[in-house]
Every structure is written in structure tokens, then in C-alpha cells.
Amino acid sequence: MSHANAALTPRQRLRLARQVVDEGWPVAGAARYFRVSYPTAAKWARRYVELGEAGMADRSSRPHRHPNKTPQPVVKRIVHLRIKKRLGPVQIAGRLGMQASTVHAVLVRCRLNRLSHVDVKTGEPARRYEHDRPGSLIHVDVKKLGNIPLGGGWRFVGRQQGGKNRAATDQHRRRGKQRDPLLGHAYIHTVIDDHSRVAYAEIHDDEKAETAIGVLRRAASWFADRGVTVERVLSDNGPAYKSHAWRAACAELSIRHKRTRPYRPQTNGKIERFHRTLADGWAYSKHYNSESARRAALPAWLHFYNHHRPHTAIGKLPPISRISNNLTGHYT
């Protein structure tokens, strides 16, 4: 792209070339008229003859040859050590007798400069996928969290005071004075659309098949209200998702069920990443005085996540923007 002080913009180059080629101006005369050098005027006239108007655009300044570029066999050895051994640039440079900066440049060029781009178990570059429309695939899973005792949990009040709060809450429960959820665990049943990343979640006290089926039915209805028809569902190999009741419910809803490979949570990585966002943005984001207070805050956070929070995987737009029938401000 031409800079701000360039004598010739693409339009001016075209004018100069047409005056020389089409109107018969001498190159020296055109150069004086447009206040450029003779070689510059001759260059644009020649490109106009060869390429026409397309030749007036700027060309890349990248050289045709790179005599000092790292040889391909060396690049292959660097990539092999990075993927198979997960070594850093300094360690790889030490093994190959090269500069660490050169190794780092090769890793950047091969998109292996961050180990997050490389699968931990297989050592292969991470493979990412995304379905082309909302509802084509939804991910389901359960996030297990410890319930918060009265007065707050140890993350915010410290382990000593947290232990006291837990003991006091247990005494209230034994005396029948505890109205908050019992001490134990909360099971957040989460559903996320693969294409849009729109999320749906419910909190329950178990992860049984009937509970998971109820969540699936309500989630499918929730998505249907927003013009999205659920076609497939992806889950892990938990007991609830392997049950006959789950299979029958999916058939009733005309949803194809697919399970991840055992010991391969990366396949369900979108919902695993959502659980981390859920924990950071809601579950452990601030001090809650009780479990009921935390549960009451979930709907507002889900609304923020779906309608207002920029999502980096979809161009820093909120997930709801990818649902085509969402009118401006309709769900806000």
C-alpha cells in the first residue's frame, strides 16, 4: 500500500501509464508532468503494457529467494523434537548446535511456538473443528462443585475460617435450621452449541440419568424457542449418557447421540473450556455467603455470557450473535 507522501497513488500510476501508452506521451515528459523520475515513469508504463490496470497495484517486497533460510531437513528435526519431546527453543538449539532465536523463528513459522498448540497426549498439533450452523451439534457435560457453607468458603475467608463455617453449617443442618442446599456437591449440567457457543445450564444435586435427560429436554426446548433445532449431541462416557433411558430420550427428540473416545476429553474441549470460564466468571468470581446466593447468581451470569461477553473463538462477538434469527436487542 502506498504511503501518505507517495507521489503516485494507484490512480495516478494509471493516469501516467495511459498517457504514455495510449496517448503517446514521451516517458520523460510524463515523468516531468507527474514529478517523478524517468525510471519510475517507465516502470509503470511497462507494467501497464504487461498487466493492464491490475499492474498498478503494489507488489509484495518479499524476496523471491532466501539464501540464508533454515534448510528443510533441519526444520523437520526441530519440529520432530518439539512435537515428540516437547522441548523448548533453548533445549532444541543445544541438541542441534544452532541459535535459540533461529529455532524459535522456525517454531513460529510452523505454528508450534506455544505448547498449547500441541496435544499433550498425542504430541500432534491440535486439531480444531466447528460445525457450520447452530444446532448441528451440542455438547453436554456435568461440572461438579463443592457447596458453599454459610459465611463463605475457604477460597475467600481462608482455610481456618472456612472450616469453621463448614462445621457451623453442618450443625445448622443437623438441627433442621439449614434452608440452603446441604453440604456436599452441586452438579451443574451444561449444554453448549458447537457453532455459536450459546450456553444453557442448570444446577442439580445429582448427575443421574433422569436428571440429565430432563436437562436435555429443557435445553432442546430452550434452543427451539430461539429458532435452533438440535440435531446431534456429544457427551463423554459417563453412566448417565450410556444408559438406555438416555438413548431412548435422544431417539424421542430425534437427536443423534455421539460419545467421545475413552480418555480423550479433548474431543469435548469446547464444553471443558466453558467450564473453566464458568468457574472463573461465576463460581469463584466473588465471595458468596451461601450456596443459595451462588446459585441465584447463575442466570444473570449466563445472560451476560450469551448476550454481552465477547468470545474470542467467534471474532470477539457474543455467542447469541451467531443465531441467525436473533433480532437486534430481542433477547437482551
What total number of domains does the chain contain? Answer: 4
Q: Are residues 143 and 94 in the same domain?
A: no
Q: Are residues 89 and 201 in the same domain?
A: no
CB burial string 35-66: b at 16+ within 10 A, e below: ebeeebbebbbebbeeeeeebbeeeeeeeeee
Q: Which amino acid is at 57?
A: A
pLDDT for res 126: 57
DSSP SS3 for 125:
strand
Are 195 and 157 members of one domain?
no
Same domain as 191, residue 204:
yes
Q: Would you say residue 307 lies in a domain? A: yes
Beta-strand relationship, 185-193 and 199-204:
antiparallel
The percentage of residues in the chain with a pLDDT greater than 70, rounded to a whole number, is 88
Residues 301 and 213 in one domain: yes
The b/e string for 130-147 (b: 16+ C-beta within 10 A; e otherwise) is eeebbbbbbbbbbbebeb
Integer Cα distance of 166 and 157 in angstroms: 12
Task: Tell me the average pLDDT across 276-286.
Answer: 91
Same domain, 30 and 161: no
Domain ranges, residue 191: 138-147+184-322
Beta-bridge mates of residue 231: none
User: Alpha-carbon distance 143 to 140, whole Å?
Assistant: 10
Residue range 298-321: mean pLDDT, rounded: 91
Same domain, 216 and 286: yes
- Residue 4 falls inside a structural domain: no
| 52 and 33 both lie in a single domain | yes
* Total Cβ atoms within 10 A of residue 193: 27
Q: Are residues 204 and 313 in the same domain?
A: yes
Q: What is the pLDDT of residues 85-95, one digit of tens each?
A: 888 899 999 99
* 294 is a domain residue: yes
- Assigned domain for 204 exists: yes
pLDDT tens, position by position, 9-34: 889 999 999 999 999 999 999 999 99
Claim to verify: residue 14 and residue 26 sit in the same structural domain: yes
**Whether 292 contacts 311, CB under 8 Å:** no
Residue 119 has a pLDDT of 60
Asked if residue 285 and residue 200 are part of one domain, the reply reads yes
> CA–CA separation, 153 vs 156, rounded Å?
6
- Report pLDDT for 331: 39
Higher pLDDT, 128 or 135: 135
Specify if 115 maps to a domain: yes
